[in-house]
Amino acid sequence: MEIKTYNIKNFLLPESSRSMSCYHAKVMEDGIMKLTIHDCKRSIQLRNDLNNPEEIPEAMEKLKNLADGINNLIEFIKANYEK
């Protein structure tokens, strides 16, 4: 059986010389999923073991809820601060 891996890194502001903000999304050969978000001197990491069937829906729910929260914040900023 082929082991599925995922490894994507991107800067959040690629054209900025002032920002080193980035994310690193990874599923390693051992089935561990990590999403790390870096901004300046701080970072957060979401982690799940995809070999554990109970953690697969947990991983997807974490990611969906984070994406929903980000999209809601974008809409708030557009409605209240974008000119």
Residue pLDDT, tens place only, 16-44: 988 889 999 999 999 999 999 999 889 99
Find tokens 């920002």 and name the residue.
19
Task: For residue 75, tell me if it sits in a domain.
Answer: yes
Task: For residue 47, tell me if it sits in a domain.
Answer: yes
Cα(40)–Cα(18) distance, rounded to whole angstroms?
10
Cα(25)–Cα(39) distance, rounded to whole angstroms?
15
Range of the domain at 17: 6-80
> How many domains does the chain fold into?
1
Backbone angles phi, psi at 69, to 5 degrees: -60, -40
Task: For residue 1, tell me if it sits in a domain.
Answer: no
Cα(53)–Cα(72) distance, rounded to whole angstroms?
30
Task: For residue 21, tell me if it sits in a domain.
Answer: yes
Residue pLDDT, tens place only, 41-60: 899 999 999 999 999 999 99
Is the pLDDT at 1 greater than 70? The verdict is: no
Task: For residue 22, tell me if it sits in a domain.
Answer: yes
Task: For residue 30, tell me if it sits in a domain.
Answer: yes
